Amino acid sequence: PPDVVPQAPEDPLFGLMAAYRADPFDKKVDLGIGAYRDNDAKPWVLPVVKKILRNDPALNHEYLPISGLESFTSAAAKLILGADSPALLEKRAHSIQTISGTGAVHLGALFLKRFYPGQPSVYFSSPTWANHNQIFSNIGIPIQTYPYFSKATKGLDFDGMKQAIAAAPDRSIILLHACAHNPTGVDPTQDQWRELAALLKQKSHFPFFDCAYQGFASGDLARDAWAIRYFVSQGFELCIAQSFAKNFGLYGERAGAFHFVTGPSPDAAKTISRIGSQLQQLQRSEISNPPAYGARIASLILNDATLFAEWEANLREMSGRIISMRQALRARLEELGTPGTWNHITDQIGMFSFTGLSETQVRELRDVAHVYMTKNGRISMAGLNTHNLEYFARAVDRVVRG
């Protein structure tokens, strides 16, 4: 019958992008999608990536293996775990190339649904990246949340987070953002990560790290991977979804990886081989094999010391511009005397700031000032630049004063 398929709601973020594009106003501001923009609000092809594209030696269009490009996945594993990771030295990690970070979260969820004993729930931070909900509910893993963001301090609700994780049934799956939490820009400190690791250990929970912003949070790749490396050093069995969309500017190329690390044990090599075989079988039926182009670009850069250093400089340029926009926005709102406190804008890190603006204020900013942001008050800091910052600050000042 014609009416069996109901209309699905439009994706809020992609809907926002479409509305922005359709708006003819010349001073419109796009603070919606988490994609880096240069100071002229243009997408930025990283100079090191541009160079690779020009010099691409013998490009062909053959299939990759089911697990993807080995030179890419092995370099991706070193990047996130550290070259001297016990998991790599003891060969108890399995890495597989995925359709960017989304595909890695999906493959991980699918694997856990099939093989994790006891059909546990997954616990997400409240709030989290909206797609986490869709991916895990499509796969049929029950979803619970833990408190994360304190409205009062616009920082971490660490006590609430710990209480919920402590109250979760043993052996639950706990989804953690490795760095630059989306949407809040609020991360635990290293001491808080240590406490969380002890708590997860005590509860035998399974950490599922989502890492979409390595190098974006601090401009330092190792520092942004600290939490994951710490958990691995504590002997956890865990998994990691890794995206190269933001840190290589390869959004549309869908370059990513999924890593499974099993804990140290005499049988670890056999365990990881079985896990790897199942991941490959799932991958074959899901996507057959992953896309080649972005992985080749990332692999060339990750495996060459000179290109790697250039990439790090490009990363520092992006994270540095974002940090300078944070400083400028906070300073301007404070100069204007905009009611409220604005220190959270510089305290928060990574791509986003959770401004604390209400849904009504967000609506008003869009209707009156043509400023586009998600209704939870999140702004993509990379959408700000020296040309539109004053306009945006004044618009915020107006709506906050009401």
Catalytic hit among 210, 224, 311, 342: 210
Nearer to ligand PMP, 85 or 102 (CB): 102
Give the tokens for residue 216.
């974006």
d(CA 93, CA 85): 10
Q: Does 349 bind ligand PMP (CB under 6 A)?
A: no
d(CA 26, CA 46): 27
Q: How far is the CB of 246 from ligand PMP (least distance, A)?
A: 7
d(CA 218, CA 215): 6
Q: Are the CB atoms for 48 and 303 separated by under 8 Å? A: no
Report how many residues bind ligand PMP under the rule CB under 6 A.
Answer: 12
220 is catalytic: no
Q: Using CB under 6 A, which residues numbered 111 to 170 contact ligand PMP?
A: 129
Nearer to ligand PMP, 101 or 249 (CB): 101
**Selected binder of ligand PMP within 73, 102, 283, 380 (CB under 6 A):** 102
Q: Does 348 bind ligand PMP (CB under 6 A)?
A: no
What's the order of all strands across the beta sheet hosting 93-99? Answer: 93-99, 255-261, 238-243, 206-211, 173-177, 122-126, 143-147
Q: Does 374 bind ligand PMP (CB under 6 A)?
A: no
Nearer to ligand PMP, 73 or 182 (CB): 182
Q: Does 253 bind ligand PMP (CB under 6 A)?
A: no
Which of 29, 38, 127, 33 has the alpha carbon at shortest distance from 380? Answer: 33
Catalytic hit among 30, 44, 246, 342: 246
Give the tokens for residue 192.
């808080």
Q: How far is the CB of 82 from ligand PMP (least distance, A)?
A: 21
Which of 373, 372, 391, 376 has the alpha carbon at shortest distance from 328? Answer: 391
Residues 6 or more apart whose Cβ sits within 8 Å of residue 134: none
**Selected binder of ligand PMP within 29, 30, 32, 34 (CB under 6 A):** 34
Q: Does 256 bind ligand PMP (CB under 6 A)?
A: yes
Q: How far is the CB of 256 from ligand PMP (least distance, A)?
A: 5
d(CA 377, CA 125): 17
Q: Does 177 bind ligand PMP (CB under 6 A)?
A: yes
d(CA 370, CA 88): 49
Distance of CA 96 to the CA centre of its chain: 18
d(CA 143, CA 325): 35
Stretch that binds ligand PMP, among 99-107, 117-125, 275-283, 388-396 (CB under 6 A): 99-107
51 is catalytic: no
Q: Using CB under 6 A, which residues numbered 193 to 222 contact ligand PMP?
A: 210, 212
Q: How far is the CB of 144 from ligand PMP (least distance, A)?
A: 18
Q: Does 395 bind ligand PMP (CB under 6 A)?
A: no
Q: Does 237 bind ligand PMP (CB under 6 A)?
A: no
Q: Are the CB atoms for 202 and 234 separated by under 8 Å? A: no
Nearer to ligand PMP, 97 or 243 (CB): 243
Sign of CA pseudo-dihedral 314, 319, 324, 328: positive
**Selected binder of ligand PMP within 32, 101, 185, 377 (CB under 6 A):** 101
342 is catalytic: no
Task: Give the residue at shortest CB distance from ligand PMP.
Answer: 101
Q: How many CB atoms lie within 10 A of CB 105?
A: 26
Return the beta strands (E) in 158-314 as ranges. Answer: 173-177, 206-211, 238-243, 255-261
Chain contacts with ligand PMP (rule: CB under 6 A): 34, 100-102, 129, 177, 182, 210, 212, 243, 245, 256
Active-site positions read 129, 210, 246
